[in-house]
Amino acid sequence: MTASAPLPALVPVSHDSTGSAIDSASFRSSALAGKGSFLVYLPPGYTSVDRYPVLYLLHGQDGHATAFLEVGLQQDLDRLIKRGAIPPMIAVMIQDRSTLNNWQNMGRWHSATYVIEVQELVDRMLPTMATRASRAIAGSSKGGFGAMHVALANPYRFAVAESWLGYFNHLDGELRTDRPILSRLGLHAFLYGAVGDLAADPAEDPAFAVELRQAGAQVESAVYPGNHSLMTVAEHLESMLLFAGRSLRGEELRAAVDAWSPRAMHLFNP
């Protein structure tokens, strides 16, 4: 989709008692050579006047964007925003094709590029804070791989990345390339696995966390009880949203200070 192409319409899906909403959108994706679609969480009190940080969410292999709603994303965000634990934010749940190559550029389907296509589209459609400091990306299972892959392949786009029950195959090269950028800009990351996970080796999480720290990222990692399931994701979803929201708030404050500092120096040193 080019910058001049008509923007897709947001179609209401549901509202809840707190005032948050779920909408959907679909569009012709050049990256997928076909239809692309996503769900959007709009926070309580949403208005097109305000500007919001955005969390992008990637589902597991052959999965569905609705999985995040099934494990309580809307309710958890409502609760955290209401008590002021995180800033009001938009969450975008991207739907990939049903394929073994979710969130990778393989053949004619460029699913990793598709994530960036959606991100750029969302910045045109919605009142976002369209900066690195205001974007986070996370995913479960294959989406955990995808979130880290897309964040490292596009280090100037995302300030926060989370992998839930994911893995990190062949990401070492991207990480080596990113070292100068991460040492300067940083990256907030949280990686977790599950003790009984037979699909993604939980030992990869602390090991890759060490590599990220050595490259300059600020990283937390954990291995929790449980297995490779949405039940495990649901048990830790609120804490992961809290990590993302607090990290974005911190990055936004840092960006504001960085932007203000040169002006302050000018004022005090005319």
- Which range has the worst mean pLDDT, 97-106, 109-118, 185-194, 205-214? 97-106
Q: Supply the pLDDT for residue 268.
A: 46
Residue 48 has pLDDT above 50, yes or no: yes
Q: Supply the pLDDT for residue 246.
A: 96
Select the more confidently predicted residue: 74 or 258: 74
CB-CB neighbours of 44 under 10 Å: 16
Instruction: Determine which helix (DSSP H) or strand (DSSP E) holds 14, and give its type and residue range.
Output: strand 11-15
Query: Could you tell me if 109 and 32 are in contact, meaning their C-beta atoms sit under 8 angstroms apart?
Result: yes
Name residue, tokens 């300059």.
216
All structural domains of the chain = 11-268 (3.40.50.1820)
> Average pLDDT of 148-152?
98
Q: Supply the pLDDT for residue 269.
A: 54
Q: Is 164 helix (H, G, I), strand (E, B) or coil?
A: strand
> Which pLDDT band holds residue 163 (cuts at 50, 70, 90)?
very high
What distance in Å separates the CA atoms of residue 177 and residue 167, rounded to the nearest whole number?
19
Adjacency order of strands within the sheet including 135-140:
11-15, 21-29, 34-42, 90-95, 54-58, 135-140, 160-164, 188-194, 218-224
Q: Supply the pLDDT for residue 266.
A: 54
pLDDT digits over 78-137, tens only?
999 999 999 999 999 999 998 888 999 998 899 999 999 999 999 999 999 999 999 999
Q: Global pTM?
A: 0.94
pLDDT digits over 2-34, tens only?
556 789 999 999 999 999 999 999 999 999 999
CA-CA-CA-CA dihedral for 160, 163, 169, 175, to nearest 10: 20
Of 52, 12, 117, nearest to 249 by C-alpha is 52
Query: Could you tell me if 143 and 104 are in contact, meaning their C-beta atoms sit under 8 angstroms apart?
Result: no
